[in-house]
Amino acid sequence: MNRARVQSTRRRSRRGFTLISMMVAMVLLVVGVSALAGANSSTIKLQTLAQNRTNAIALARSYAEQVRTRDPWLLQSEAAVRLNSDGVANSQGAYVRRLTVRQSSNNLIELEVRVDYPRSTQPVSLVTKMFRGNGLSGAS
| Structural domain count of the chain | 1
Residue 5 to residue 9: CA distance in whole angstroms: 6
Q: Is the pTM of this model over 0.85?
A: no
Q: Is there a domain that residue 136 lies in?
A: no
Q: Is there a domain that residue 137 lies in?
A: no
Range of the domain at 21: 17-131
In the β-sheet with 78-83, what is the strand arrangement from edge to edge?
A: 78-83, 95-105, 108-116, 124-131
Sequence-ordered list of residues with C-beta below 8 angstroms from that of 68, at least 6 positions apart, any chain: 111, 128, 130
Q: Is there a domain that residue 79 lies in?
A: yes
What are 21-80's pLDDT values in tens digits?
888 989 999 999 988 888 888 899 899 999 999 999 999 999 999 999 999 989 999 999
Q: Is there a domain that residue 122 lies in?
A: yes
Contact 135, 65 (CB under 8 A): no
The three-class DSSP label of residue 16 is coil
